């Protein structure tokens, strides 16, 4: 990147991969605007390169306020990292419409709102990088995670389409597909449907087999700094692949998904997770 100032905006930056990336890039001479609803979580940060900023991706008004503030100060946003997201754990039968909308409002519509606001700046400057934090579950389905899965499948579709739309303006678009990572995701960013987790639920056997295993794999997963290092690699390498996997589970299941038939892959997943 040739800009004297290298400006990065990260959504969902107060914890996990977002926090790790904000800290890492700020240590590598980027000016990082850490978008979050919880700016107090950055009270321990002293570097002037990391700048927490109140941002609610559910609100176009909040997003535009942030974008206008950054543009007024720097005239540009070089890199957007769409990181904000959470996971709903529920069967489809137990879902209500409010839960469905909330999951897509953050993971999909929020990503689109922020991208929509940033793209005109990048297009005018004929340069930019958009990095979408997806999931290996954007390529692989698992029970109880249907809404989260489908939201990340949508992120993958958005990434593919935007790569075509923005190529003529020298704007690169990438997605990162993490496996299970040791972040605050399982502790703070998994939302459970009460009916699904009721002991009298017809899905109680599935829940008791799968949910503890998934949570264990998340809590014992890879470190979020791996994502931060990959994001810096993407920024510095204009030949970087459209998407990349990080984490043990992603590296295990994504290649397997490509190699096997749908039926064989499903059988492997059933065996692995005892479902």
Which member of 152, 153, 203, 249 is catalytic?
A: 152
Catalytic status, residue 6: no
| Residues with Cβ within 8 Å of residue 117, at least 6 apart in sequence | 60, 63, 64, 67
Asked if 203 is an active-site residue, the reply is no
Strand residues in 156-208 grouped as ranges (E): 171-178, 190-192
Length of the chain: 275
Residues 6+ apart with CB under 8 A from 255: none
The catalytic residue among 148, 153, 203, 249 is 148
In angstroms, rounded to a whole number, what is the distance separating the alpha carbons of residues 117 and 124?
A: 12
Distance (Å, whole) CA 275 – CA 273: 6
DSSP characters for 56-83? -TT-HHHHHHHHHHHHHHHS---EEEE-
Q: Are 196 and 94 in contact (CB under 8 A)?
A: yes
CB 80 within 8 A of CB 184: no
Run of H or E residues at 51: strand 50-54
Report how far residue 175's alpha carbon sits from residue 153's, in angstroms, rounded to the nearest whole number: 11
Catalytically active residues are 148, 152
């Amino acid at each position: 990147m040739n800009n004297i100032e290298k400006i990065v905006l990260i959504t969902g930056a107060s914890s996990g991969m977002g926090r790790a990336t904000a800290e890492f890039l700020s240590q590598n001479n980027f000016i990082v605007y850490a978008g979050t609803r919880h700016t107090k979580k950055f009270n321990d940060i002293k570097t002037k390169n990391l700048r927490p900023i109140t941002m609610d991706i559910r609100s176009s008004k909040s997003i535009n306020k942030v974008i206008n503030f950054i543009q007024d100060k720097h005239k540009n946003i070089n890199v957007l990292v769409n990181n904000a997201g959470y996971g709903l754990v529920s069967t489809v039968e137990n879902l209500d419409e409010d839960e469905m909308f909330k999951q897509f409002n953050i993971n999909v519509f929020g990503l689109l709102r922020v991208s929509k606001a940033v793209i005109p700046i990048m297009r005018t400057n004929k340069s930019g990088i958009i990095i979408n934090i997806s999931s290996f579950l954007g390529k692989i389905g698992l029970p109880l995670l249907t809404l989260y899965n489908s939201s990340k499948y949508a992120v993958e579709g958005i990434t593919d389409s935007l790569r075509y739309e923005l190529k003529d303006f020298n704007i690169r678009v990438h997605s990162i597909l993490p496996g299970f990572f040791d972040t605050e995701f399982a502790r703070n960013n998994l939302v459970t449907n009460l009916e699904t987790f009721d002991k009298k639920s017809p899905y109680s056997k599935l829940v008791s087999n799968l949910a503890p295993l998934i949570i264990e794999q998340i809590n014992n997963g890879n470190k979020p700094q791996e994502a931060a290092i990959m994001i810096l690699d993407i920024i510095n390498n204009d030949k970087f692949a459209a998407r990349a996997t990080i984490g043990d589970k992603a590296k295990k299941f994504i290649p397997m998904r490509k190699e096997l038939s749908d039926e064989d892959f499903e059988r492997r997943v059933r065996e692995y997770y005892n479902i």
